[in-house]
């Protein structure tokens, strides 16, 4: 059973999640001041990925209380290359002032080494980046506008077993892109058949977690098509985060499992095909990897082991007894282990 969230505050007077479940918009109101857990456990971020079948850019502004981060990744799928650069500042404790909602408020990460901004302008999201010496001695500049094409989004309120710990998350798929990225003198057009996704997250996390997440955004046979699939953290007995987007409609799904290919030693082989399937057989998708953006930040008591793999999706989902097929639509799938 999946519970659809009602309107109201996210947390009660004791800092506990009032209601767990899913929605198609931010019907529950997040307020950092209502959190009763240790302030050092609060984690807030805005993450954008914008791309097509040839290249993409990923951008993060995060305030994880004991540290804040501005991060930029540029991905070249044709040449199978990626560059990630991040700047970290310590003991931010909410000083980055990330908004309580995804539909208003601006987000900035600026210092002498990087300038990233996410600003609302005339109903669109305006993303600007200046990262000096991003690729060797070449600067990266980005100027992108993202426009929502779907009224619905994926929203989930997930409790952890530990008291006063929760995750409130929104994924906005199929954000139509307009603009460019420049690395040195190389110009990358982010206009034609290019889409973005916003991962908006606010919550109080437990120390050790592993999650799986996959996002697809693109067109197939003239229609917009995308999905958000994921699992692995918290108590998701009240709802999953699995949602499929087809033109102007969103469709909710229950379970999904990511089956990552294994090598001869039984380890995950991220660059071999994955399967995304559901027990009810309403999801059957094959993911064909192109590039793995691997990162392992290990600071003894803190670690983030990331395998974010980019490629294409083919398969079908079953909606009202009808199979919706698609082939070679771009996106990514990831497995992340954090001690944070």
Q: What span, in angstroms and rounded, lies between the C-alpha atoms of 332 and 334?
A: 7
Mean model confidence pLDDT for the chain: 96
Number of alpha carbons in the 13 Å side-chain half-sphere of residue 1 = 3
With respect to residue 2, please indicate whether it lies within any of the assigned structural domains.
no
Q: Give pLDDT tens digits for 164-187.
A: 999 999 999 999 999 999 999 999
pLDDT at residue 308 tops 90? yes
Higher pLDDT, 268 or 303: 268
Q: Tell me the two tokens of residue 99.
A: 């908004």
Specify whether the CB–CB gap between 97 and 33 falls below 8 A: no
β-strands 8-9, 28-29 pairing? parallel
Q: Report pLDDT for 304.
A: 85
Separation in Å, CA 222 to CA 60, 152, 188, 219: 31, 20, 23, 6
The CA distance from 314 to 43, in Å, is: 34
CA distance 67 to 89: 6
The verdict on residue 1 lying in a domain is no
Strand partners, 260: 274
In-domain check, residue 205: yes
Confidence of residue 290 (pLDDT cuts 50, 70, 90): very high
Alpha-carbon distance values, 299 to 64, 100, 102, 308, 338 (Å):
15, 30, 31, 20, 11
For residue range 94-117, list pLDDT tens digits in order.
Answer: 999 999 999 999 999 999 899 999
Cβ atoms of residues 306 and 296 within 8 Å: yes
Q: What is the dihedral of CA 8, 117, 74, 155, to 10 degrees?
A: 10
pTM of the model: 0.96
- Strand 81-90 vs strand 107-110: parallel, antiparallel, or unpaired? unpaired
| Residue 3 forms part of a structural domain | no
- Residue 297's pLDDT is what? 77
- The pLDDT tens digits of the residues spanning 262-286 come to 999 999 999 999 999 999 999 999 9
pLDDT band at 340; cut points 50, 70, 90: confident
User: In the numeric block, which tokens belong to residue 132?
Assistant: 């000096």
* pLDDT tens-digit series, residues 206-262: 999 999 999 999 999 989 999 999 999 999 999 999 999 998 899 999 999 999 999
Full residue range of the structural domain in which residue 201 is found: 8-339
Proportion of the chain above pLDDT 70, given as a percent = 100
**Distance between CA 196 and CA 86 in Å, rounded?**
20
pLDDT at 247: 86
pLDDT > 80? residue 1: no
Assigned token pair, 88? 């970290």
User: Both tokens of residue 239?
Assistant: 């709802």
> Which residues make Cβ contacts (< 8 Å) with residue 192, sequence separation at least 6?
52
Q: What is the pLDDT of residues 40-89, one digit of tens each?
A: 999 999 999 999 999 999 999 999 999 999 999 999 999 999 999 999 99
b/e map 4-19, b = 16+ CB within 10 Å: ebeeeebbeeeebbeb
- The total number of structural domains in the chain stands at 1
């Amino acid at each position: 059973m999946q519970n659809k969230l009602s309107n109201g505050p996210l947390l009660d007077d004791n800092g506990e999640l009032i209601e767990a479940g899913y929605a198609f918009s931010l019907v529950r109101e997040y307020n950092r001041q209502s959190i009763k857990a240790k302030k050092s456990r609060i984690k807030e971020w805005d993450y954008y990925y914008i791309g097509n079948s040839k290249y993409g850019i990923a951008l993060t502004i995060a305030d994880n209380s004991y540290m804040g981060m501005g991060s930029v990744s540029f991905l070249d799928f044709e040449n199978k290359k990626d560059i990630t650069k991040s700047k970290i500042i310590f003991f931010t404790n909410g000083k980055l002032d990330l908004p309580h909602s995804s539909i208003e408020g601006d987000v900035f990460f600026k210092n002498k080494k990087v300038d990233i901004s996410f600003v609302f302008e005339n109903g669109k999201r305006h993303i600007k980046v200046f990262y000096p010496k991003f690729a060797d001695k070449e600067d990266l500049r980005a100027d992108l506008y993202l426009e929502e094409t779907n009224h619905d989004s994926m929203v989930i309120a997930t409790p952890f077993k530990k008291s006063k710990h929760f995750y409130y998350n929104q994924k906005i798929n199929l954000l139509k892109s307009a603009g460019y990225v420049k690395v040195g003198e190389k110009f990358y057009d982010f206009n034609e058949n290019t889409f973005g996704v916003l991962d908006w997250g606010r919550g109080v996390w437990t120390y050790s977690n592993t999650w799986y997440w996959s996002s697809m955004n693109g067109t197939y046979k003239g229609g917009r098509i995308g999905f958000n699939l994921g699992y692995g953290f918290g108590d998701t007995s009240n709802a999953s985060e699995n949602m499929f987007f087809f033109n102007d409609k969103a469709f909710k799904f229950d379970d999904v499992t990511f089956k990552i290919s294994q090598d001869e030693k039984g380890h995950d082989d991220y660059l071999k095909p994955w399967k995304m399937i559901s027990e009810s057989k309403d999801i059957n998708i094959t993911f064909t990897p192109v590039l793995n953006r691997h990162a392992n930040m290990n600071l003894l008591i803190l670690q983030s082991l990331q395998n974010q793999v980019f490629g294409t999706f083919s398969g079908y989902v079953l909606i009202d007894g009808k199979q919706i097929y698609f082939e070679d639509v771009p996106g990514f799938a990831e497995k992340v282990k954090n001690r944070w």
